[in-house]
């Protein structure tokens, strides 16, 4: 009996360690990629502006070298132009192709994409998909992923403190309760190991 308990404890510890590492990787990868892209773009613009301003000796504004200031301005303008291009049909078709062929194969991509859209307020008027899901005798904060036939639903229950990994449950719809809160608020509660749960679930438990 003792051996079985120890085996279950080791298995749970291994699963927790693996889930935490995977969640950390999924969280860090887009940040590292974004930082790398911005760093490379800034370096390119900085070198370009340094060549343009060679004729201006010791040019600086507020102690900041002029090439660096111009590089930041150029990078912001480039991002603005890229944002305008992103609204065109050509850009949307390119993104759709990338998502269907490459990005959709990245674990959790769709969830992270929609979560990012929710956090920056470009999700539109979509109804919140945050729910309370009853797992055995407990309620857990979850996200409604899909409604299926015969009153069945698929929910994703994120782990804590890293919500980028977790478990998927298939259950009857009577075992979930919708929460009128944003994904950002739910994720903040999960990252805080339940801090703010009272306000988040007020009137639902």
List pLDDT tens digits, range 144-165. 988 888 889 999 998 888 777 7
CATH 1.10.8 describes domain 130-200: no
Number of Cβ atoms within 10 Å of the Cβ of 81: 10
Q: pLDDT tens for residues 124-142? A: 434 568 899 999 888 999 9
Order of strands, sheet of 138-147, starting from the edge strand that comes earlier in the sequence: 166-172, 152-158, 138-147, 130-135, 176-178
Contact between 132 and 142 under an 8 Å Cβ cutoff? The reply is yes
Q: Is residue 77's pLDDT more than 50?
A: yes
Q: Is residue 166's pLDDT more than 80?
A: yes
pTM of the predicted protein model: 0.49
Q: Hey, what are 1's tokens?
A: 């009996």
Q: pLDDT tens for residues 172-189? A: 999 999 998 888 888 888
Q: Is residue 120's pLDDT more than 60?
A: no
Q: Is residue 47's pLDDT more than 80?
A: yes
**Cα–Cα distance, 86 to 122 (Å, whole number):** 14
Number of Cβ atoms within 10 Å of the Cβ of 22: 16
Whole-number mean pLDDT of the chain? 76
Q: Is residue 122's pLDDT more than 60?
A: no
**Cα–Cα distance, 175 to 178 (Å, whole number):** 10
Q: Is residue 171's pLDDT more than 90?
A: yes
Domain range annotation of the chain? 2-107, 130-200
Q: How far is CA 10 from CA 19, 53, 160, 166, 192, in A?
A: 14, 62, 19, 19, 25
């Amino acid at each position: 009996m003792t051996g079985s308990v120890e085996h279950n404890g080791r298995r749970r510890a291994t699963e927790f360690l693996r889930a935490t590492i995977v969640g950390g990787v999924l969280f860090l990868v887009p940040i590292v990629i974004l930082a790398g892209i911005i760093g490379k773009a800034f370096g390119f613009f900085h070198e370009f502006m340094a060549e343009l301003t060679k004729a201006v000796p010791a040019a600086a504004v507020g102690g900041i070298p002029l090439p660096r200031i111009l590089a930041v301005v150029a990078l912001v303008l480039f991002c603005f132009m890229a944002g305008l291009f992103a609204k065109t049909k050509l850009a949307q078709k390119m993104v759709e192709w990338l998502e269907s062929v490459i990005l959709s194969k990245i674990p959790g991509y769709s969830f992270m994409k929609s979560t990012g859209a929710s956090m920056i307020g470009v999700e539109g008027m979509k109804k919140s998909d945050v729910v309370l899901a009853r797992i055995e005798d407990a309620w857990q904060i979850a996200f409604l992923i899909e409604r299926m036939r015969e009153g069945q639903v698929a929910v994703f229950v994120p782990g804590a403190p890293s919500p980028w990994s977790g478990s998927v449950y298939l259950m009857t719809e009577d075992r979930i309760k919708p929460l009128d809160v944003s994904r950002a608020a739910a994720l903040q509660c999960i990252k805080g190991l339940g801090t703010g749960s009272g306000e988040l679930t007020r009137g639902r438990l």
